[in-house]
C-alpha cells in the first residue's frame, strides 16, 4: 500500500519550487530585482526553462493582479514585463510570445486607446492610481523593469532549483533538532515607561478620584527579544546613550535577562533612559536586533491661575483651548460643562467637536452653551489618574439670529500626528463654522486628489485639472465624517485630501491637506540563507525601500564587514569569491539606514562538502503505475557538490538502462517511462557519485489495472446564495490510494493554499465557495453560497497509480440575470436626446427579466448615476438571435457632454451586474437652459453694489465660451442695467459702481448665463443693499466710572439707527482706552460691542491708575469719528490679605456659626467694606457657591443648611476694589443630627 509519506513524495513532483507562486496547473515567478529589459526577461526566464507571462483567462489575470497587490505594496507601484508583444507581420495584432496564443481581449487594457500606440511594442502590467486597478500598458522594450516568468507544472522538473535548507545532507526527521543560526522572531520596540504611582483621591489640586479598581501596577518595565535557533541562543543587551555603547550586566536586581527579555526593576530615568539593542548568538553566528528607545512618560498638573473668559456672539462660532500641562505623548482629552456629570458629547451634539490636540470647538453657539468648561487630560495607560483644568468661562453675547454659510476654520484640516510614520494611526480633522442648529446639520465629504510622491516622501499635487481618487481601503470616516482616520497608515496612503463642507440648503466650502508619510527602511528584497558548495562564488543583494536615501552596511556575526581580496562590497551587494567553510561560515546581516531608523535583513551562510546519500529521499521500495500509463522514478540524492548529469546512472536489475523513445533520463536525474507495458515491471536502481564518494537507491515497479466511480455526481439546481452537494465515490483496489480532484469547467478547484509570510510564518487560505465532503462522502463537493458564476459543468476526477477516471454533472444556478449585451446608440444624438438599444443576455438567471435600470457617466461629473428605473421600453422580437431587443429614448441629457451608458437587468431574484459601457457619445451644444442659483450679495467698498451667485457646474455650461451677465436696478425703477461680460466661468461675483451717494440703498438684482450660442433664462429677482459708507456722527455724553480695581464702566447716549446718520446700518460701538501717563490714543486697545447699547464694561485694567476712554460708532464700512475722551481712575486694590483662623461651629442640625480673624488694609487698598462667607456643596464648582455678607463683623450665623450634604467654605474681605483674597485652604465639613460638626470627613 502507498503510504502517506509516499503520497507526499508524489505530490512534490508537481509542486511549485520555493520562490514560485502557484495557480492552477502553472507556476509563476515574480522577479523584482534585478530588473531586466524585455529581451533580458526572455533570457532570465529560459534559464529555468520557463517563459514570460501569458494571460489566457480572467482567473489568471485576477491571480496576477492579486499577487502584484500583495508583493508590490509601495506607494509608487512598479510596471512588470510580460511576454506580450506586437505580431511582427501585422503590428495591429498582438500575441503572447510565451505560449504563442493571440491576444483577442481588450478588457484588461488600462485604456482602450493604448493598443493604438504603434511606437510601443511590449506589454507590461501597470497600476493606475486613478482607477485603483492593475491592467496592461505598452512599453518600448528597452526599459529595465521587474518581470514575471511562467512554467507549466508538467515542466517544473526543468527548473534549475538550488533550494537547500539547514537540514540539507542531515538525516534528522525532527526539525526542532536541526542545527541552525539565530533569526529574530520578536524584536525590541520603543517603550515609554509610565510611573504607576499617583494620587488616589479628589482634592483641590484637580486630580481625578481613585485608581483603576484599586490595582497598583508594579514598578518595572521590559524590552522583548526572541530568536529562533538550534541550539538555543544566548542573549546580550547593549545600551547606546550619549555616544557610548555599554553591555548590560544582569548582575544585580535592577537588570535581569530571562529568555531574551530584559527586565528593568524600579526604572530610573537618569540610569535607564537610552537606546537598547539585543544581540543573539550560538555556534553558527551572532546577529543584532533593531534598536528601541526607552523613555519616561509624565503628565504634570494644570497651573492654578484663572483662565481668561471666552466671549462669543450667539449664532457665531467659538473655541476653547485646553492648554494641557507639560506631558509626554500620547494623552487623551475630554471636556465637561459646569459639572463632571455633564460631559461634552459630540456624538450627540454635532455642533461640538473635540480635536485631538484638545481644542473644543463650536460650529455655532447659543445662550444655552454659556457656562464653565473644564478640560480633562489623562494617559491611556492610567485612565483614572488624569488632570482637570481650571474653569474656562464661555460668555455668550445675545445677537440677532442669522444664517452663516459653512466656512472651514483656518487651521483645518489638521493631521495627527503631524509627521506620521508607517504603521501610525493617523487622523485628518476638518471643522467648519456655520449655522447648524436648529435645522440641517453641516455635511462633511472627503476625497483624494491625484498627486505624486517624491523619494523623500513629500507629496505634490499634480498640475492641471485635479483628478479624484477613491479613499484608501484602510481608511474610514468618523465623528460625523469630520475625521478621516487611517488605522495603520502606509506609504501608499500619502497624498492630497480635500474636505468639503456644505449645508443642505446653502453653500459649501472646501480645503485640502497634504498627508506626508515617512517610513524607516523595509526590505523589498531581503537576503536568504545560503547552503552552498565549497569553492563557488556567492552573491547577496538586498534592496530596501523607505523614505529618502538608503545607506547600506554589511555585518558578519554582529561586526562590520569590510572589503578584501575575496570580499567585495558595493552598497547593497556582497560578493565572496570561492567560499570556504572555515573562513566564511556565519550569520550575515544587511543593514539599511535612513533618517527614520535602522533595519536588518538576516541570513546564514553555511559551506557544505560531503559524499552523496539517499537517507532522506530514497526510491520507494514499492512503486505502482497503470498499464499504458506513464511513470516517473525519482532520483534525489543529497550531496555537496551535487552529482553532474553524467554521474547519475539508472539500472534495471543489474543492467544499465539506455534511453530510447519510451525511456528518458530527465535533466534533473529522474527517470521517465511512457506507454508502460508489463515488461516494464521489475527492480530499478539509481547510482550517483561525486568527488567524495558514491551512493545508490532501489525500488520495485508494479503494473496495476483500473478503478471505477460507483456513485457519480448528478445534475443539480440551486438558488443563488444556497448550498448544494455533489456525490463522488470510487471503487478501487485496496492496495491503492486514490485522490479526488474536482474541476469547474476546465479549471481545477483549489480548496486551500498556503502563503509564506516572511521566513518562518505561514498563512492558509481556504476556499470560501468549495469544500470537500467528509467521512464516507469524502470524495464529494459542497458548493456553498452559490453565485451565478458557479453555474456550469463540474467534474470529479479520481486519480490513482492504477488509472484516472472522471464523471461530470451540471449545476444550474437560479439567480439574477446576467448583464445585458450589445448596448449601442442608435439614431441621431442631439443636445438633449439619444436613443439606446440592447439585448437580453442568453442567461437570464432562470427567471424572466421584467425591468431594466439605466446608468449614465457624464464626463464632466465623473461618476456613474442611475438615470432611469423600471424602464417601460418597447420590446422587439429578434428572430436571428432568439433573444429580446430593447430600446429607450432619453430626452433629458446635458448638452455639450461626453456620455457613457450601461444597463442592468432585473428579475424576481435580483439585479444583474452592469453591462459593458456603451461607446462614448457627445451631445450637441446649445445655449444655457439654467439660471445661476444662490443669487445675493451686499457689502463691499463704498460706492459699490456687490452681486454674488453660484457658478454653473461644468455639465451645465451647454457649450463653449460660458460667461455671465449681472443686472441691477434701484428698488422702484423700471429698467435694469447690465454689467459687462463676466468671462470667467468659475467667477461667482460682480461689483457695480453706483456712486458714493448711493450708499445702503435697496437694489433688485438678477444674473444670466450665456455661451457662444446664446443666453439662458434670467434668475429670480433678489433684493440686496449697496455698500455702506463710514459713519460721520459721534457718540455723545461719554463718561466712565470705576467698577472695581481692574474695571470701569463706560456710558454714552445711544445713536438713532438711521441710514442718513449712520451711512448704513449700525454695527455697534468700539471703546478705546489707554493710560493717561505713558499711554497713547493711537493704537490703544479696544472693546467692541455689537448692536445697540449704552454702556460697556472694560476689564483688565491696573488698580489705582488714571485711564482715558473714547467711543466710536462702526458699521460694515468702518469706524466713525472718535468721541471726546473722558478720564477716569480705577479703584485701589481689593483686600490683599486673606482672613485666617477660620472656624465652623454647629448650632443645630441646620445652623452653623463661622468665626475668623479679620484683615487690615493700607494705602494700596480701598478701605474694607466688610466680609463674605462663600459656601458651596462638595462636588460642585465654586462658581455656584452662595455668599453670606457679614458686614464688618468677623463672625456670622448661617441657617437652613442641609445636614446630609458635604460643604466647602471660604471667607474673604471686600471693598470698592472688589472681592479680596479668599481664606485657604477651603474648610470641608458636614452637619450631624447629634449636633456634632464633622470636619474634613
Domain contains 121: yes
Q: Is the pLDDT of residue 485 over 90?
A: yes
* Residue 209 banded pLDDT, cuts 50, 70, 90: very low
Q: How far is it, in rounded angstroms, from Cα 36 to Cα 20?
A: 18
pLDDT in tens, 815-852: 778 889 999 999 899 999 999 999 888 777 777 777 78
Q: Is the pLDDT of residue 560 over 50?
A: yes
Q: Which of 71-80, 367-376, 640-649 has the lowest mean pLDDT?
A: 71-80
- Residue-by-residue DSSP string for 971-1009: TT-S--EEPPPB--TT--EEEEE--TTSTT-EEEEEEEE
User: What pLDDT does 206 receive?
Assistant: 32
Domain contains 168: no
3 by Cβ neighbours in 10 Å (0-12 / 13-18 / 19+) ranks as exposed
Domain contains 304: no
**Residue with C-alpha cell 460691542?**
1089
Q: Within this chain, do residues 354 and 489 fall inside the same structural domain, yes or no? A: yes
Q: Within this chain, do residues 25 and 154 fall inside the same structural domain, yes or no? A: yes
Which stretches within 206-305 are classed as H helix? 269-272
Q: Within this chain, do residues 17 and 117 fall inside the same structural domain, yes or no? A: yes
Long-range contacts at 557-562 (CB < 8 A, ≥ 24 apart): 557/281, 557/285, 557/286, 557/287, 557/586, 557/587, 558/279, 558/281, 558/286, 558/287, 558/288, 558/587, 558/589, 561/588
Of 491, 490, 591, 476, nearest to 540 (Cα)?
591
Q: Within this chain, do residues 472 and 620 fall inside the same structural domain, yes or no? A: no
Q: Within this chain, do residues 1080 and 1211 fall inside the same structural domain, yes or no? A: no
Q: Is the pLDDT of residue 707 over 70?
A: no
Question: Of 863 and 1190, which is predicted with more confidence?
Answer: 1190
What is the overall mean pLDDT for the chain? 84
User: What pLDDT does 744 receive?
Assistant: 93
pLDDT in tens, 400-410: 666 778 889 98
pLDDT in tens, 510-538: 999 999 988 899 887 788 899 999 989 99
Q: Is the pLDDT of residue 340 over 80?
A: no
Q: Is the pLDDT of residue 627 over 80?
A: no
Q: Within this chain, do residues 502 and 356 fall inside the same structural domain, yes or no? A: yes
The domain boundary residue, chosen from 486, 515, 544 = 515
Of 34, 162, 29, nearest to 572 (Cα)?
34
Q: Within this chain, do residues 332 and 458 fall inside the same structural domain, yes or no? A: yes
pLDDT in tens, 385-395: 678 888 899 98
Q: How far is it, in rounded angstroms, from Cα 247 to Cα 238?
A: 5
Q: Within this chain, do residues 713 and 759 fall inside the same structural domain, yes or no? A: yes
Domain contains 927: no
pLDDT in tens, 1042-1067: 999 999 999 999 998 888 889 998 98
pLDDT in tens, 153-208: 766 655 644 568 888 888 876 666 889 999 988 889 888 887 765 433 323 333 33
Q: Which of 123-132, 585-594, 879-888, 1190-1199 has the lowest mean pLDDT?
A: 879-888
- Three-class secondary structure of residue 287 per DSSP: strand
pLDDT in tens, 753-785: 877 666 666 777 888 889 888 765 688 898 888
pLDDT in tens, 70-116: 787 665 688 999 999 888 778 888 888 888 788 887 788 888 888 88
Q: What percent of the chain has pLDDT over 90?
A: 40
Q: Is the pLDDT of residue 7 over 80?
A: no
User: What pLDDT does 802 receive?
Assistant: 65
CATH of the domain at 573: 2.60.40.10
User: What pLDDT does 775 receive?
Assistant: 65
Q: Within this chain, do residues 290 and 353 fall inside the same structural domain, yes or no? A: no
Contact call for residues 125 and 148 (beta carbons, < 8 A): yes
Give the N- to C-terminal CA distance of the chain in Å, as an integer: 87
User: What pLDDT does 738 receive?
Assistant: 79
Q: Is the pLDDT of residue 220 over 90?
A: no
Write out the three cell numbers for 617. Answer: 529521499
Looking at residues 630-656, what average pLDDT do you find?
89
Q: Within this chain, do residues 180 and 255 fall inside the same structural domain, yes or no? A: yes
Contact call for residues 272 and 294 (beta carbons, < 8 A): yes
For residue 34, whether the previous peptide bond is cis, meaning omega lies within 30 degrees of 0, is yes
The domain boundary residue, chosen from 969, 995, 1025 = 1025
The number of domains in the chain is: 10
243 by Cβ neighbours in 10 Å (0-12 / 13-18 / 19+) ranks as exposed
User: What pLDDT does 1237 receive?
Assistant: 59
User: What pLDDT does 452 receive?
Assistant: 66
pLDDT in tens, 1130-1180: 999 999 999 999 999 988 888 999 999 999 999 999 999 999 999 998 877
Looking at residues 802-812, what average pLDDT do you find?
84
- Could you tell me the pTM of the whole model? 0.53
User: What pLDDT does 834 receive?
Assistant: 93
Q: How far is it, in rounded angstroms, from Cα 487 to Cα 180?
A: 37
The domain boundary residue, chosen from 586, 606, 626 = 606
Q: How far is it, in rounded angstroms, from Cα 841 to Cα 907?
A: 12
Which stretches within 545-605 are classed as H helix? 581-584
Specify which residues 839 forms β-bridges with: 821, 885
Which stretches within 212-287 are classed as H helix? 269-272
Domain contains 167: no
Q: Which domain holds residue 532?
A: 522-606
Q: Is the pLDDT of residue 1068 over 70?
A: yes
User: What pLDDT does 1053 receive?
Assistant: 94
User: What pLDDT does 73 receive?
Assistant: 62
User: What pLDDT does 1234 receive?
Assistant: 53
Domain contains 334: yes
Domain contains 359: yes
Range among 317-326, 896-905, 1084-1093 with highest mean pLDDT value? 896-905
Domain contains 244: yes
* Phi, psi of 1183, deg, nearest 5: -65, -25
- As a three-state string, the secondary structure of 503-538 is ECCCCEEEEEEEECCECCCEEEECCCCEEEECCCCE
Count the Cβ atoms, other than its own, within 10 Å of residue 287: 27
Looking at residues 350-363, what average pLDDT do you find?
91
Q: Within this chain, do residues 17 and 95 fall inside the same structural domain, yes or no? A: yes
Looking at residues 927-935, what average pLDDT do you find?
90
pLDDT in tens, 990-1000: 999 999 889 99
Contact call for residues 1218 and 1103 (beta carbons, < 8 A): no
Q: Burial code of 53-82, b = ≥16 C-beta within 10 A, e = fewer?
A: bbbeeeebbebbbebbeeebeebebbbbbb
Q: Within this chain, do residues 1070 and 1171 fall inside the same structural domain, yes or no? A: no
* Phi, psi of 177, deg, nearest 5: -105, 0
Amino acid at each position: 500500500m502507498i503510504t502517506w509519506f509516499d503520497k507526499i513524495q508524489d505530490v512534490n513532483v508537481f509542486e511549485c519550487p520555493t520562490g514560485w507562486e502557484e495557480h492552477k496547473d502553472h507556476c509563476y515567478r515574480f522577479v523584482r530585482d534585478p530588473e531586466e529589459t524585455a529581451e533580458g526577461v526572455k533570457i532570465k526566464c529560459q534559464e529555468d526553462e520557463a517563459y514570460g507571462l501569458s494571460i489566457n483567462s480572467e482567473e489568471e489575470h485576477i491571480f496576477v493582479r492579486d499577487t502584484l497587490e500583495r508583493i508590490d505594496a509601495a506607494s509608487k507601484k512598479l510596471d512588470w514585463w510580460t511576454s506580450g508583444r506586437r505580431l511582427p507581420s501585422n503590428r495591429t495584432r498582438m500575441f503572447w510570445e510565451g505560449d504563442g496564443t493571440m491576444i483577442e481581449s481588450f478588457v484588461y487594457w488600462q485604456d482602450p486607446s493604448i493598443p493604438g500606440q504603434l511606437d510601443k511594442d511590449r506589454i507590461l502590467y501597470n497600476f493606475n492610481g486613478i482607477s485603483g486597478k492593475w491592467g496592461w500598458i505598452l512599453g518600448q522594450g528597452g526599459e529595465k523593469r521587474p518581470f514575471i516568468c511562467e512554467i507549466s507544472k508538467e515542466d517544473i522538473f526543468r527548473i534549475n532549483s538550488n533550494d537547500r535548507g539547514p537540514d540539507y545532507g542531515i538525516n534528522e526527521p525532527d526539525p526542532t533538532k536541526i542545527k541552525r543560526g539565530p533569526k529574530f522572531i520578536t524584536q525590541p520596540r520603543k517603550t515609554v515607561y509610565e510611573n504607576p504611582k499617583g494620587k488616589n483621591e479628589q482634592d483641590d489640586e484637580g486630580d481625578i478620584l481613585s485608581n483603576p479598581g484599586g490595582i497598583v501596577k508594579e514598578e518595572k518595565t521590559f524590552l522583548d527579544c526572541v530568536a529562533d535557533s538550534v541550539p538555543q541562543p544566548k542573549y546580550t543587551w547593549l545600551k547606546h546613550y550619549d555616544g557610548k555603547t555599554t553591555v548590560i550586566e544582569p548582575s544585580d536586581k535592577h537588570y535581569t535577562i530571562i529568555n531574551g527579555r530584559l527586565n528593568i526593576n524600579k526604572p530610573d530615568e537618569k540610569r535607564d533612559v537610552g537606546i537598547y539593542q539585543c544581540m543573539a548568538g550560538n555556534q553558527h553566528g551572532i546577529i543584532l536586533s533593531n534598536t528601541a528607545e526607552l523613555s519616561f512618560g509624565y503628565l504634570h498638573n494644570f497651573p492654578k491661575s484663572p483662565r481668561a473668559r471666552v466671549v462669543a456672539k450667539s449664532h457665531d462660532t467659538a473655541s476653547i483651548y485646553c492648554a494641557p500641562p507639560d506631558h509626554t505623548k500620547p494623552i487623551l482629552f475630554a471636556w465637561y460643562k459646569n459639572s463632571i456629570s455633564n460631559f461634552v458629547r459630540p456624538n450627540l451634539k454635532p455642533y461640538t467637536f473635540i480635536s485631538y490636540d484638545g481644542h473644543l470647538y463650536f460650529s455655532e453657539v447659543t445662550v444655552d452653551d454659556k457656562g464653565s468648561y473644564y478640560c480633562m487630560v489623562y494617559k491611556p495607560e492610567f485612565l483614572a489618574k488624569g488632570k482637570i483644568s481650571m474653569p474656562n468661562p464661555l460668555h455668550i453675547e445675545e445677537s440677532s439670529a442669522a444664517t452663516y454659510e459653512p466656512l472651514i476654520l483656518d487651521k483645518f484640516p489638521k493631521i495627527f500626528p503631524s509627521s506620521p510614520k508607517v504603521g501610525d494611526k493617523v487622523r485628518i480633522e476638518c471643522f467648519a463654522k456655520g449655522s447648524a442648529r436648529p435645522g440641517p446639520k453641516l455635511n462633511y465629504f472627503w476625497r483624494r486628489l491625484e498627486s505624486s510622491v517624491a523619494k523623500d516622501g513629500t507629496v505634490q499635487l499634480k498640475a492641471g485639472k485635479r483628478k479624484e481618487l477613491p479613499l484608501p481601503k484602510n481608511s474610514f470616516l468618523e465623528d460625523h465624517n469630520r475625521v478621516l482616520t487611517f488605522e495603520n497608515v502606509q506609504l501608499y496612503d500619502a497624498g492630497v485630501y480635500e474636505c468639503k463642507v456644505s449645508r443642505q440648503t446653502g453653500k459649501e466650502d472646501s480645503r485640502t491637506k497634504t498627508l506626508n508619510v515617512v517610513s524607516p527602511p523595509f526590505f523589498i528584497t531581503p537576503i536568504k540563507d545560503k547552503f552552498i558548495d565549497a569553492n563557488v562564488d556567492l552573491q547577496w543583494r538586498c534592496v530596501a525601500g523607505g523614505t529618502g536615501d538608503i545607506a547600506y552596511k554589511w555585518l558578519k556575526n554582529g561586526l562590520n564587514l569590510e572589503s578584501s581580496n575575496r570580499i567585495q562590497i558595493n552598497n547593497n551587494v556582497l560578493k565572496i569569491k570561492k567560499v570556504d567553510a572555515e573562513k566564511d561560515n556565519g550569520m550575515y546581516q544587511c543593514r539599511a539606514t535612513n533618517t527614520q531608523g535602522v533595519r536588518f535583513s538576516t541570513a546564514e551562510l553555511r559551506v557544505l562538502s560531503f559524499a552523496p546519500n539517499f537517507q532522506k529521499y530514497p526510491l520507494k521500495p514499492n512503486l505502482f503505475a497503470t498499464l499504458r500509463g506513464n511513470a516517473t522514478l525519482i532520483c534525489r540524492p543529497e550531496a555537496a557538490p551535487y552529482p553532474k548529469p553524467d554521474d547519475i546512472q539508472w539500472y534495471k536489475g543489474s543492467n544499465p538502462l539506455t534511453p530510447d523513445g519510451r525511456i528518458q533520463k530527465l535533466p534533473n536525474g529522474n527517470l521517465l517511462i511512457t506507454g508502460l507495458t508489463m515488461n516494464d515491471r521489475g527492480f530499478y536502481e539509481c547510482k550517483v557519485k561525486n568527488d567524495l564518494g558514491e551512493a545508490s537507491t532501489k525500488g520495485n515497479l508494479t503494473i496495476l489495472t483500473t478503478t471505477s466511480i460507483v456513485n457519480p455526481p448528478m445534475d443539480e439546481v440551486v438558488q443563488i446564495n444556497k448550498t448544494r452537494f455533489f456525490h463522488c465515490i470510487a471503487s478501487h483496489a485496496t492496495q491503492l490510494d486514490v485522490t479526488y480532484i474536482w474541476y469547474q469547467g476546465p479549471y481545477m478547484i483549489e480548496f486551500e493554499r498556503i502563503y509564506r509570510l516572511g521566513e518562518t510564518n505561514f498563512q492558509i487560505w481556504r476556499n470560501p465557495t468549495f469544500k470537500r465532503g467528509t467521512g464516507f462522502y469524502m470524495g464529494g463537493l459542497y458548493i456553498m453560497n452559490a453565485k451565478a458564476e458557479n453555474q456550469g459543468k463540474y467534474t470529479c476526477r479520481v486519480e490513482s497509480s492504477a488509472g484516472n477516471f472522471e464523471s461530470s454533472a451540471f449545476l444550474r444556478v437560479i439567480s439574477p440575470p446576467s448583464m445585458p449585451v450589445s448596448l449601442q446608440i442608435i439614431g441621431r444624438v442631439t443636445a438633449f436626446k439619444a436613443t439606446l438599444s440592447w439585448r437580453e443576455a442568453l442567461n437570464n438567471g432562470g427567471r424572466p427579466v421584467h425591468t431594466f435600470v439605466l446608468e449614465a457617466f457624464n464626463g464632466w461629473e465623473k461618476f456613474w448615476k442611475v438615470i432611469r428605473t423600471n424602464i417601460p421600453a418597447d420590446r422587439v422580437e429578434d428572430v436571428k438571435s432568439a433573444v429580446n431587443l430593447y430600446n429607450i429614448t432619453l430626452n433629458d441629457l446635458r448638452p455639450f457632454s461626453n456620455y457613457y451608458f450601461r444597463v442592468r437587468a432585473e428579475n424576481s431574484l435580483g439585479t444583474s451586474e452592469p453591462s459593458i459601457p456603451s461607446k462614448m457619445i457627445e451631445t450637441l451644444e446649445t445655449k444655457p437652459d439654467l439660471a445661476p442659483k444662490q443669487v445675493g450679495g451686499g457689502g463691499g467698498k463704498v460706492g459699490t453694489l456687490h452681486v454674488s451667485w453660484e457658478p454653473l457646474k461644468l455639465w451645465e455650461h451647454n457649450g463653449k465660451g460660458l460667461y455671465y451677465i449681472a443686472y441691477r436696478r434701484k428698488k422702484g425703477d423700471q429698467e435694469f442695467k447690465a454689467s459687462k461680460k463676466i468671462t470667467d466661468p468659475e467667477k461667482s461675483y460682480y461689483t457695480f459702481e453706483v456712486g458714493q451717494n448711493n450708499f445702503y440703498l435697496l437694489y433688485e438684482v438678477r444674473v444670466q448665463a450665456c455661451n457662444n450660442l446664446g443666453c439662458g433664462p434670467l434668475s429670480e429677482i433678489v433684493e440686496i443693499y449697496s455698500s455702506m459708507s463710514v459713519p460721520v456722527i459721534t457718540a455723545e455724553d461719554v463718561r466712565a466710572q470705576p467698577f472695581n480695581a481692574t474695571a470701569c464702566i463706560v456710558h454714552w447716549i445711544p445713536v438713532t439707527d438711521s441710514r442718513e446718520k449712520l451711512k448704513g446700518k449700525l454695527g455697534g460701538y468700539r471703546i478705546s482706552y489707554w493710560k493717561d501717563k505713558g499711554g497713547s490714543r493711537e493704537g490703544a486697545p479696544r472693546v467692541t460691542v455689537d448692536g445697540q447699547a449704552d454702556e460697556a464694561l472694560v476689564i483688565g485694567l491696573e488698580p489705582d491708575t488714571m485711564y482715558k476712554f473714547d467711543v466710536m460708532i462702526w458699521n460694515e464700512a468702518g469706524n466713525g469719528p472718535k468721541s471726546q475722551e473722558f478720564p477716569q481712575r480705577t479703584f485701589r486694590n481689593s483686600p490683599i490679605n486673606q482672613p485666617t483662623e477660620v472656624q465652623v461651629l454647629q448650632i443645630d442640625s441646620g445652623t452653623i456659626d463661622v468665626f475668623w480673624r479679620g484683615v487690615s488694609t493700607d494705602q494700596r487698598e480701598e478701605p474694607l467694606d466688610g466680609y463674605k462667607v462663600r459656601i458651596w456643596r462638595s462636588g460642585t464648582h465654586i462658581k455656584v457657591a452662595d455668599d453670606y455678607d457679614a458686614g464688618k463683623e468677623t463672625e456670622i450665623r448661617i441657617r437652613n443648611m442641609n445636614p446630609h450634604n458635604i460643604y466647602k467654605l471660604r471667607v474673604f474681605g471686600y471693598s470698592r476694589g472688589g472681592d479680596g483674597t479668599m481664606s485657604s485652604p477651603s474648610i470641608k465639613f458636614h452637619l450631624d443630627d447629634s449636633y456634632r460638626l464633622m470636619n474634613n470627613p
